[in-house]
Structure 1
Amino acid sequence: MTDKIQLLDSITDATTTTAGQIVVSGSHGGMYPAAVASDAGARAVLFNDAGIGLEQAGVAGVLALADTGMAAAGVDCQSCEIGSAADTLANGVISVVNTVAETLGIAVGTPVDTAVSLLENAPMPQGKLPPYPEAHQSVHIGAVSVELLDSASLVGPQDSGKIVITGSHGGLIGGNPARAIKAPVRIAVFNDAGFGKGNIGISRLPALEVRNIAAVTVSCLTARIGNAKSALETGVISALNDAAQAHGAEIDTPLAAWLTTLG
């Protein structure tokens, strides 16, 4: 296998060493992760398809990268753990292929390790995706203030004690509980990314329960992954931890309807 492969549990871990590399990422394949891979100068990239989800948000970036000349593909969330590049490489199976990757012989059903070998022939992209800024805004839902963050990477000390809706998947990055969330928020919301292998897409929830942080996921079929506003507007709760249940959260309840009951 090529020595020009980089394993990144999150594409946000990309550095100057990513340039020219074939990247196997644990991130979802939405527009923001794709823009990060493009800006980092990756040669080719594989993302988790995150259940594909509403309006194909989980692979929108995979498809868009074809416009830059970058080979990219989505990996079936049921075949490997989202947030784990190593498991993606070892066990992943391709589910979505962009037009550049197709020309290299990569197809739906191709094992990731085979796809990586085929990507050795990938051309360097001739363009880049435009920057895709992640939104961060405060809104009021009923009597409560809510922070909308398209990525959990934007959470910081300023969000301590707040209700935070993220567009990120609910899987532990690299299986590390310390990366579940970066501040002691009151309530955290994530996208379930299709639940995925071993229900990895909701694995932040028990990790946050240990920290006494209420947490829920919304179904990827009801909200666009990578878009916190979408989670608030149309998201329906698909999983929760005990702390969230104690706050009245229930599965199959619209997220916004639950939040309006909080004081």
Structure 2
Amino acid sequence: MTTDPPLLLDSITDLRPDHAGKIAISGSHGGLYPAAVASRGGLRAVVFNDAGIGFQRAGVSGVMQLDTVGMAAAAVDCMSAEIGSAQGMQDAGRISTVNARAAACGLAVGMEVAEAIPYLMAAPTPDQHLPELAEARRSLTLPQGRELSLLDSASLVGPEDEGGIVITGSHGGLIGGDPARALKARAHIAVFNDAGGGKNRIGISRLPALETRGIAAVTVSHMTARIGDAFSSLETGRISTANPRAMRLGAFANLPLKDWLRQL
């Protein structure tokens, strides 16, 4: 049992080695990539945002996967707290999903996060760690020769993505409300998952921030693509929201992402 207050991590990728053994409230979605980061970072227990749950329940797939390694995990309803804001989740989040290990600790659907924290404090140390996800970043060339970067997490964006087309599996919300964290490179086009829109429509808040930086950006509907899976966004994703720069390039709601990219 730990008596330390929970870590507040707007992104699970902010996890540090000295956080091992702690519990965390993370503004990240509850999909496979954030779950792997939480597990391999040695957390004792974690709460994510359910990102609207979405296509094939991808928004909480990592919450359930963590049960296989003995980690208590839960997710909050995206309409109760803004994705990307750990503080907002602690203050107003309401639990929508729990795995079996978390349920055994006393967590239940409908609990407020503040009510759930004491139960998480008693979570046992996980038995194992999830494996590192393979191919979190890859490149793909469309038939007309246009090259795409597929990144399951926007945390993988780097200088090599300057001027390129970046499809991420990440949610489209500003992390901690900070426009500076909207994207780590000035890409030509950036794609995110709308994470169910969420409280205050936070799930699309990167788009206006990227407009000011001259980046065309869209979100795909969380019901058409698995959050955390860039390839899924490309293959089955349909645009839900586009910023003005993207609209000038022909993006509009319900257009398949792949069709838009092919016409550029």
Same fold (TM over 0.5): yes
CA distance in 2 between partners of 1:261 and 1:110 (Å): 47
Q: Which residue matches 2:90?
A: 89
2:147 to 145, 150, 160: 145
Does the residue aligned with 1:42 lie in a helix, a strand or coil? Answer: coil
Structure 2, unpaired ranges of 5+: none
Mapped pair 1:100 → 2:101: yes
| Superposition pairs of residues 240-259 of structure 1, within 5 angstroms | 240-259=242-261
Q: Which residue matches 1:227?
A: 229
Structure 1, unpaired ranges of 5+: none
Q: Which amino acid aligns with 1:76?
A: D
Q: Which residue matches 2:175?
A: 173
1:209 to 208, 211, 216: 211
CA distance in 2 between partners of 1:111 and 1:2 (Å): 19
For residues 89-112 of structure 1, the C-alpha deviation after alignment (integer angstroms, 9 at most, x for no partner) is 000000000001111221110000
Q: Which amino acid aligns with 1:78?
A: M
CA distance in 2 between partners of 1:14 and 1:134 (Å): 21
Does the residue aligned with 1:103 lie in a helix, a strand or coil? Answer: helix
Q: Report the CA distance between 1:17 and its aligned residue.
A: 2.2
Q: Report the CA distance between 1:75 and its aligned residue.
A: 0.7
State TM-score, norm by structure 1: 0.97
Q: Report the CA distance between 1:141 and its aligned residue.
A: 2.5
Is the contact made by 1:189 and 1:217 (CA closer than 8 Å) also made in structure 2? yes
Q: Which residue matches 1:184?
A: 186
Is the contact made by 2:182 and 2:209 (CA closer than 8 Å) also made in structure 1? yes
The number of aligned residues is 262
Does the residue aligned with 2:263 lie in a helix, a strand or coil? Answer: coil
Q: Which residue matches 1:36?
A: 37
CA distance in 2 between partners of 1:60 and 1:253 (Å): 26
Is the contact made by 2:84 and 2:173 (CA closer than 8 Å) also made in structure 1? yes
Q: Which residue matches 1:125?
A: 126
Does the residue aligned with 1:250 lie in a helix, a strand or coil? Answer: coil
CA distance in 1 between partners of 2:177 and 2:89 (Å): 13
State TM-score, norm by structure 2: 0.97
Q: Report the CA distance between 1:135 and its aligned residue.
A: 2.5
CA distance in 2 between partners of 1:76 and 1:90 (Å): 13
- 4+ runs deviating over 3 angstroms: none
- Identity of matched residues, %: 60
CA distance in 2 between partners of 1:57 and 1:18 (Å): 26
Q: Which amino acid aligns with 2:186?
A: P
Q: Which residue matches 1:45?
A: 46
Q: Which amino acid aligns with 2:167?
A: I
CA distance in 2 between partners of 1:131 and 1:184 (Å): 28
Is the contact made by 2:168 and 2:190 (CA closer than 8 Å) also made in structure 1? yes
Q: Which residue matches 1:61?
A: 62
Q: Which amino acid aligns with 2:257?
A: L
